Amino acid sequence: MSSKEKKYILLILLHVVIGLIVFFFPPISKPLAALVFLVGLFLIVKNQNKNHEVLLVSGYIVGSEIFFRMTGGIIIYEFAKYSITIFMLLGMYYSGFSKNAIPYWIFLVLLIPGILVATETLNLTTDLRKTISFNISGPICLGISSIYTYNKRISLDKLNQVLLSIGLPIISTSVYVILYTPDLKEALVLGTGSNYNTSGGFGPNQVATIFGLGMFIFFSRLMLESKTKLLLIVNLIIAFIVTYRGLITFSRGGMITGFMMIVILLFYLYISTKGRGKIKLNYIFGFMILMFFATWSYTSSKTDGLIEKRYANQDAMGRVKESQFTGREEIFNNEINSFIDNPIFGVGVAKGAEIRLDMTNEVSLSHNEISRMIAEHGLFGITALLILLFTPIILFLDNKQHIFLMCFIVFWLLTINHAAMRLSAAAFVYSLSLLKVHLHEETPLHRK
């Protein structure tokens, strides 16, 4: 076993142990979350971001966000987004940022009118600071992160390390969820709705989102970073566990997103590979299909076929459900109507939820960041979304070595359609699509 393999196995075992300790001794979650932030801050300042510490630490925060939320480890709900924003600003101080990142400065400016409108339109009983920050922290985190990463040079190997930093805490999350629900019969999996019991007692939509991302990370490591049989077996086991635990949350959005990322990566690798490389990829494709079939079959047997009905939009009796999006289309229609009534400046940040509360007497937060931006920011929101969509695509024309670029864009786009920007993952992973990837390691520039 090489030293690299030993280090990898030790990192995995460490995060298995973290999951075990937090489950059996929950109070340690809070100091652990604080320790992650402080250690990350120390590493960035000590090394002055010479080895992309900002990305590595931010990635770790992204991967651990759900873990700390479900275990009560965070003092403030948006701990991850605030931490990443602070780290990115430090990164700009030490390593600078591209003067061509103007689109993302414009993006941040476009958010201001919606905030100003909100100060006038939100109810007098509403806590303006908390309400606005809850809704705007995601876009701000995305904007700051994107300014830092815009055209910043990074090697493919280092980028894989960043993805691993996201994936390691997901292993801890998997261990915690397994211990929380060791037996599906105890979880009372009787229907096809999203299940809190199989999601560590936390929101299935968010848990499935991070498991879907973890599925992609460890399947990509199967393809790109498993150079020995030992690594192949280890990554295979982790990929299987993460995929299985994600599927039995019965929340579809995150898992479908992860699957789409894998398909896009395979397709890009196939069209970019020539000669004998394609023959090897054919074997990999066959292996991946076999893996998915085996995982799906195992999940189906464990859920008595309910998982198949869930993805077919059926209830436990096999009847097709009236709503394909669990009622979220009503929120979407409400937000489009709000835009029609207020097309220029929108109704203001967070006002959409108040409008729905007045209409239905129920609190219904938006799950779709696109319709929320359109409703609450108006034409400014539409312009901001267009900047986010087209800028990385244009950069891709001169960034063909960034094999993950389209995967990251798809993750962001699909995630904000079913989970808005509840998680920092959407903002951070999007910003990774703006990196300038090359095949060989380089020492990044930093300020003296």
> Residue 67's pLDDT is what?
97
- Model pTM? 0.93
pLDDT tens track for 148-179: 999 999 999 999 999 999 999 999 999 999 99
Region 233-241: what's the mean pLDDT? 94
pLDDT tens track for 289-317: 888 899 999 998 888 888 888 888 777 76
Structure-model confidence comparison of residues 270 and 101, the more confident one: 101
Distance separating alpha carbons of residues 174 and 180, to the nearest angstrom: 10
pLDDT tens track for 249-296: 888 999 999 999 999 999 998 888 877 777 778 887 888 888 889 999
